[in-house]
Amino acid sequence: MELEDYKKASDYIKNKIGSLSPKIAIVLGSGLGVLREDFEDLITINYKDIPGFPVSTVSGHAGELLVGKISGVSIIAMNGRFHYYEGYNLDEVTFPIRVFKLLGINDILLTNAAGGINLDFKCGDLMVINDQLSFFALSPLRGKNLDEFGTRFPSMSQLYDVDLSKKLFDIINTHTNRAKSGIYAYMKGPSYETPAEIRALRVLGADAVGMSTVPEAIVAKHCGMRIVGVSCITNMAAGITTEDCKAKDLSHSEVSDTADKVKFIFKDVVKEYIQLFNGY
């Protein structure tokens, strides 16, 4: 991808949204598509109409940008994201992030569904991501560096914004007693992990595991965005059985059932988080 490719997509979006200038971008993970109902003056843009945008293929994942206001704040949200396991290259997976940057957006909220590795976690917990592991994956920044976005060797020392993450944690706490924070480990999927992999990830320091978010966060950091991430713990990871998560064999339906149960709380949390950007 070249700068021009990202520019074409951002010009197309600018043209569609007119004078709206979104302050924050949100990537909506499983279940969070319900946020759509809460937009004022909603403009939807299908991914397939945006030059250069990949198109989402997983069932249950929509493929549209939502632009409008929530609680008076202009936002842009991805209803459906791109995953490496779908067959996209990492520059396709992260394409929208750089497009958001060209739209003038500096704040991004990444949300996802994840498996719990930390034994103190329960299904339905909301974990603010305070760091990430991606030992086993290629970097989305591999290849020619686009200097217009950022430096060749970007620091990942403070990937997730500490102050905003703390605020998000407090917001979760006011809605539910299920606030957690921890480290998100990225696995490429699409198969779930083996119990041995989960034990190994726990030793490495992971609290949760999932198949998204990490490439997006790296690209967002590269171009200087402020990042906050939150995982809905939809299941306990492979090999872990607890009172409330008895599934012996992981399935997508367990993940989507929990995401469905938590989605309204998750949505309220996200809406309150958005309010932090009011007048900002």
CB of 173 to ligand HPA, least distance (A): 23
Nearer to ligand HPA, 211 or 270 (CB): 211
Between CA 140 and CA 111 the distance in angstroms is: 18
CB of 81 to ligand HPA, least distance (A): 13
Whether the Cβ atoms of residue 70 and residue 35 lie closer than 8 Å to each other: yes
Q: Which of positions 140-169 make contact with ligand HPA (CB under 6 A)? A: none
Nearer to ligand HPA, 33 or 210 (CB): 210
Between CA 138 and CA 188 the distance in angstroms is: 9
Nearer to ligand HPA, 53 or 184 (CB): 184
Query: Among candidates 177, 11, 201, which has minimal Cα distance to 115?
Result: 201
**By beta-carbon distance, which residue lies closest to ligand HPA?**
115
**Residue 153 DSSP class:** S
Torsion angle of alpha carbons 253, 256, 257, 262, nearest 10°?
Answer: 170
CB of 210 to ligand HPA, least distance (A): 4
Using the rule CB under 6 A, give the single segment among 54-62, 75-83, 108-116, 126-134 that binds ligand HPA.
108-116
Taking 3-state DSSP, the helix, strand and coil percentages for the chain, each rounded to the nearest 5, stand at 35, 25, 40
Nearer to ligand HPA, 33 or 68 (CB): 33
Query: Among candidates 94, 111, 113, which has minimal Cα distance to 221?
Result: 94
Instruction: Compose the 166-205 pattern: x for residues touching ligand HPA by CB under 6 A, - for all others.
Output: ---------------------x----xx------------
Using the rule CB under 6 A, give the single segment among 79-87, 112-120, 134-142, 165-173 that binds ligand HPA.
112-120
CB of 55 to ligand HPA, least distance (A): 21
Q: Which of positions 212-251 make contact with ligand HPA (CB under 6 A)? A: 234-235, 237, 250
Q: Which residue has the tokens 């490495």?
A: 204
Query: Among candidates 140, 238, 150, which has minimal Cα distance to 195?
Result: 238
Choosing from 66, 209, 240, 262, the residue that interacts with ligand HPA (CB under 6 A) is 209
Whether the Cβ atoms of residue 227 and residue 217 lie closer than 8 Å to each other: yes
Choosing from 33, 96, 124, 210, the residue that interacts with ligand HPA (CB under 6 A) is 210
Binding to ligand HPA by residue 115, rule CB under 6 A?
Answer: yes
Nearer to ligand HPA, 115 or 140 (CB): 115
Between CA 43 and CA 17 the distance in angstroms is: 7
Between CA 270 and CA 267 the distance in angstroms is: 5
Nearer to ligand HPA, 108 or 209 (CB): 209
Measured at the alpha carbon of residue 61, what is the angle toward residues 172 and 277, in degrees to the nearest 5? Answer: 35
- Strand segments, DSSP code E, in 71-164 are 73-79, 107-116, 126-133
Using the rule CB under 6 A, give the single segment among 45-53, 77-85, 109-117, 241-249 that binds ligand HPA.
109-117
Residues in touch with ligand HPA (CB under 6 A): 113-115, 187, 192-193, 209-211, 234-235, 237, 250, 255
